[in-house]
Amino acid sequence: MRPKGYLAGPSAASRSMTIVRAKAPLRISFAGGGTDVSPYPEERGGAVLNCTISRYVYATLEATPPEDGSVSVTSLDYNLSVNYAKP
């Protein structure tokens, strides 16, 4: 299932598409979770006790840049969309 408006219009089909795929191990925090993520440790310091497990999270980004420079991000899992307009 693709987001509504995916490759809509003839001009979108002629522009190049970028596909980015990522895989990251899941991390379990036992104590201090989040205190190792910027900017918190730079401002306050931090310490975390965590580990990774042999389960992964995957993400795929398929993008055809629109002519107006805006970006739309859609989560198919949560059925949510966020749009960012070019300043």
Residue-wise pLDDT for 10-53, tens only, equals 454 556 778 889 999 998 889 988 888 889 889 998 889 989 89
pLDDT at 53: 92
Q: Tokens for 55, please give them.
A: 């389960």
Which residues have a Cβ under 8 Å from the Cβ of 24 and sit 6 or more positions away? 56, 57
pLDDT at 10: 45
CB contact at 8 A, 35 and 7: no
CB contact at 8 A, 70 and 81: no
Q: In this predicted model, what pLDDT tens digit does every residue of 45-66 receive, in sequence order? A: 888 998 989 999 888 887 777 7
pLDDT at 73: 81
